[in-house]
Amino acid sequence: MSAVRMDGKALSAKVRGSILAETKALKEKGVTPGLAVIIVGNDPASEIYVRNKEKACAECGFYSEKYALPAETSQEELLGLIAQLNQSPQISGILCQMPVPEHISEQAVIDAIDPKKDVDAFHPVNVGKIMVGNFDFVPCTPAGVMELLDEYGIDPKGKECVVVGRSNIVGKPMSMLLLHRHGTVTICHSRTSGLAAVCRRADILVAAVGKAGFITPDMVKDGAVVIDVGINRNAEGKVCGDVAPEVMEKASYMTPVPGGAGPMTITMLMKNTLKAAKLQHSL
């Protein structure tokens, strides 16, 4: 048996097509979704992400602004820019690319963004809404995973779901989304005892630990759905996930890396930005 590869590239293209169609309809009503992306310093990985976000905005028909600030920018200057963007009628969503330089507090940046324009869904208000299930925006990677599950007809209802990783960006919101869809959810992390045995219970296993090849075949139940959201580099410098490639032989469905959950992340950012524009104009 070899798993069905869950094609994030194909689904991403399909979702972006529907976003573009909605954007055209909005423009006829005089509304253009707008995204402002801020990058502080010159982290190479962040620069690639920002370029990809600009490209996605163009594909979806959005207006976009990019602010590339020098590494020595003060926290006060950065928060001042965010305050201006919070007031800008052209901007539906604001994203500050993390990490920021050490002299700037990430939490202060997150807190400064208007929750209505927080398209990353990191603001405490939006985090709280995800917790109670009454949310407008969902962090982009978990949102993309849910779209993939839906596309392949995989319903978490009544299933054992195990999430390995407890970050605020992926692990925690992923767990809540599966729970809201009636999955029975276990959150694991580096201090979980008997981790392999817990993973083997999973009907749906989500790996979000940031360690290349961390999930090995002995940790996976035959026929499990395996979602790999890790993006790492192996010893040869090739991009790889948190799940060993051999797991393909045990799983029923699995996301490849690259080309699985990754392409969906930026597409969900576009979906959040579109939603923000509609909410701000009561459409």
Is residue 75 part of the annotated active site? The answer reads: no
Q: Is the dihedral of CA 224, 179, 140, 96 positive or negative?
A: negative
78: left (phi over 0), alpha (psi -120 to 50) or beta: alpha
Nearest Cα to Cα of residue 277 among 53, 24, 4: 24
In the 8-state DSSP scheme, what is residue 29?
T
Please give the average per-residue pLDDT across 25-39, as a whole number. 97
pLDDT at 202: 98
Confidence class of residue 48 from pLDDT cuts 50, 70 and 90? confident
Please give the Cα distance from 262 to 253 (Å, whole number): 16
Name the catalytic one among 97, 116, 118, 172.
97
In the chain, where the domains are located: 29-114, 140-261
Assess whether the region 29-114 and the region 140-261 belong to the same CATH fold: yes
Q: Indicate whether 210 pLDDT > 90.
A: yes
Q: What is the DSSP string of 259-275?
A: TSHHHHHHHHHHHHHHH
Whole-number average pLDDT of the chain: 96
For 97-120, how does the pLDDT look when each residue is reduced to its tens digit (9 = 90+)?
999 999 999 999 999 999 999 999
Confidence class of residue 236 from pLDDT cuts 50, 70 and 90? confident
Name the catalytic one among 53, 116, 172, 275.
53
Q: Please give the CATH architecture assigned to the domain spanning 140-261.
A: 3-Layer(aba) Sandwich (3.40)
Residues flagged as binding site for NADP(+): 165-167, 231
Is residue 120 part of the annotated active site? The answer reads: yes
Identify the weakest region by mean pLDDT among 46-55, 92-101, 124-133.
46-55
Please give the average per-residue pLDDT across 226-244, as a whole number. 92
Is residue 14 part of the annotated active site? The answer reads: no
pLDDT at 216: 97
pLDDT at 155: 98
Name the catalytic one among 7, 118, 120, 203.
120
pLDDT at 43: 82
Percentage of the residues of the chain whose pLDDT score is greater than 90: 94
Label the pairing between strands 239-240 and 232-233.
antiparallel
Please give the average per-residue pLDDT across 229-251, as a whole number. 93
Please give the Cα distance from 268 to 73 (Å, whole number): 29
Q: Indicate whether 44 pLDDT > 90.
A: no
For 3-18, how does the pLDDT look when each residue is reduced to its tens digit (9 = 90+)?
999 999 999 999 999 9
263: left (phi over 0), alpha (psi -120 to 50) or beta: alpha
Q: Taking the domain 29-114, which CATH number applies?
A: 3.40.50.10860
pLDDT at 164: 98
